Structure 1
Amino acid sequence: MTTATLSPGVGPLLREWRQRAGVSQLELALRADSSARHISFIETGKSRPSQEMVLRLAEHLDVPMRERNALLVAAGHAPYYPESSLDSPGLDVLRLGIDRLLTGYEPFPALVVDGTYQVWAANSGIGMLMADVAPWLLEPPMNAMRITLHPEGLAPRILNFREWRGHLLDQMRRQLALLRSRPLRELYEEVSGYPLPPGGEERAGESSRLALPMVIRHDGRRLSFLSTIATFNTPVDVTVSELAMETFLPADPETAAYLRQAG
């Protein structure tokens, strides 16, 4: 065990993650095959954790991949996980697989977003719902939160907008509790400040017994969707770890029939 002065930040950061997880020093030590004394020394700066120890503790505390790199840097180590750009040739196979999944889900809407809700890919079902969205919101880089919550986006057509808006903002707040992401914080402050469009006060009906649906008016019809989100299992790249595929499942037979006919 070394006793060199630790780079500022890593001890308090690890303690914050441990407390957030509701885990005692002893319990974390048992999980990480260490000792409570060693964990205490790390948190107080008396011991400089190795790269392996930082990664082990982060794993047992379910620290997001981007924050694991931040812990390593704070401990004086190089980042461990690479961060690819979305247009990197190394992600070609991934992009092809995602395109196949999105196409296979048609005619139901589906899209893929990154950690700040920029739209990475979408299928024709999503395109159908964008018919009345202001063109400037559809210019790259498109952002799913802006498109949904802006008064010139989907917001005026979402019949239970106040419910759906509350769900989305809660989702972003949960992410911000885990990530020190300035872009995500700025996005939250922006979209939470959008004025509310008239209406949108409808309450979800029968389908809300399963999950909160998004009820939207489209082409004179009332469509209802249940949203599911899928992420990649055991990613080893920061970018891939933050990608999420959101699919919209018809919440009633009428919506399913309309989409199949329109598709």
Structure 2
Amino acid sequence: MSNLLTSFIETNQPLVEKTLHDLINDLEAPQPLKDAMLYSLQAGGKRIRPLYTLAVLKELDIQNEDAIIVASTIEMIHTYSLIHDDLPAMDNDDLRRGKATNHIVFGEALAILAGDALVTLAFGIIARLQNISPDLKIDLIDKLSFSAGAEGMVGGQVLDMLGEGQTLTLEQLEEVHLNKTGALLSFSILAGAIIANVSEEIRSALEKYAFHIGLAFQIQDDILDVEGTSEQLGKTAGKDLKSEKNTYPSILTMEGAKIELQTQYNLAYEALENVQMQNGLLVEFANYITKRSN
């Protein structure tokens, strides 16, 4: 990881952690519910999504005190999806980020409700922002609901479930990943563009970058599920193979998956190059995503 990216993360990750804690801690809600919400929010994680939002603004030299709040709401939605994905009715996992999953600690009912509370809270927080114009808040809520909902992350999870035990084409697998993982990651990048109110040219370039880096992120996840260990990943390694899930290595072979990973990185880089943003944080994030070990 470069000094530029390391410095950025060391500065901003603690701000994300504090904001998440404060937003939940200040709720007038039953304490067991808050405990369950905070348990998964504070279970660790790289915070790639909120950091991406802040990185876009840093690249564009835009400051907005509500940006950290928007970034944190994206992490809330990501965390809700993990809580629900781990449930017995879904992936049935008992380990997440090296810790017992939410339903193992709090029971299935409270885990479901903690996820519900996180996703609904996120939209309310954005609606109440004070330093972003009403038009931009509507744009944020509209794009987030699309990315997280039936045409994005939730729909992708359904496609993933339907594909188990079947052999998908590469195009079908790409559709799964663009929705299940890529949609929310892409929104993280788009959110920075919306807050900055950028030109259509820059917004289009960032959307293209987000598209390709979202695929790259999932390809690397698929590779790590085969090559990584449970200790490295903080979750059960090899679970995709045991569940007969379609992955890039299973369809393209491991060598083919690594070639595709590099292709997606190159396309993401080209998108930034077209708007002279190829020498900063977004490229460093792309390097990190394609070379990470967890």
Confirm or deny a common fold (TM above 0.5): no
Highest relative contact order (Cα 8 Å, sep 6+), 1 or 2?
A: 2
Answer 1 or 2: which has greater strand percent.
1
Answer 1 or 2: which has greater helix percent.
2
TM-score (normalizing by structure 1): 0.30
